[in-house]
Chain A
Amino acid sequence: GNSVTQMEGPVTLSEEAFLTINCTYTATGYPSLFWYVQYPGEGLQLLLKATKADDKGSNKGFEATYRKETTSFHLEKGSVQVSDSAVYFCALSDPLNTGFQKLVFGTGTRLLVSP
């Protein structure tokens, strides 16, 4: 089945540093790829998505490009803020027998940003 591998955390950065969180996937077919974020004590929020190869998803200064040749969807941000401290989950769509999709998640990467 489809699977996602994320880099281990925590990732510890100073404010205004550059962020990369690596995500690679294994999939048959052409899944969509997602980044979700979970702030402390809260639920999952969709951060960005890409639905086909070479698509770039972006939101709130975060970006990720769907790279089919390297099966990757790395999350980047040019300058992190303390408020970006959260757990970030990479996910892909995995077909169900219904024609719909479930999400398969990576293990999550905790980001800690200090002032």
Chain B
Amino acid sequence: DSGVTQTPKHLITATGQRVTLRCSPRSGDLSVYWYQQSLDQGLQFLIQYYNGEERAKGNILERFSAQQFPDLHSELNLSSLELGDSALYFCASSVALAGPTDTQYFGPGTRLTVL
């Protein structure tokens, strides 16, 4: 158990809908990262938050947004869903050391299925 929790575990919804994925980081971790794992794109970085502020964006669609709240939990909002958004969405957290030695710990993921 990494200490990172994600809810829900599974989500099934229809095209055009909006969903919210939730992540609670490990105790003491200030940084939260979101990744998408899909069959065609593999594992890709979406967005990073540090202590409540957005700090970096990766390959995140404009239909997607995220927040990190004062208690450090984070939510990823996906709207106008398309079939191609079906994927496993992971949250990771880290202490947020500057530099390459920072280690990210992953949650169990939320599997999103868009029908």
Contacts and interface: CB of A to CB of B under 8 A. Distances in A.
Contact of B55 (A29, A31, A42, A98): A98
B102 A101 contact: yes
A97 to B, nearest CB: 6
B106 A36 contact: yes
B100 A95 contact: yes
Given A44-B106, A89-B43, A101 B90 contact: no
A39 B101 CA distance: 25
B43 A105 contact: yes
Contact of A96 (B35, B48, B106): B48
Contacts of A32: 100-101, 103
Interface of B is mostly: strand
Contacts of B105: 46
Interface residues on A, range: 20 to 34
Contacts of A44: 90, 92, 106, 109
24 contacts: A29-B100, A32-B100, A32-B101, A34-B103, A36-B106, A43-B109, A44-B90, A44-B106, A45-B106, A46-B105, A51-B101, A89-B43, A98-B50, A99-B99, A100-B31, A100-B50, A100-B55, A100-B102, A102-B48, A102-B56, A102-B58, A103-B35, A103-B45, A105-B43
Interface of B: 2, 6, 31, 33, 35, 42-43, 45, 48, 50, 55-56, 58, 90, 92, 94, 96, 98-109
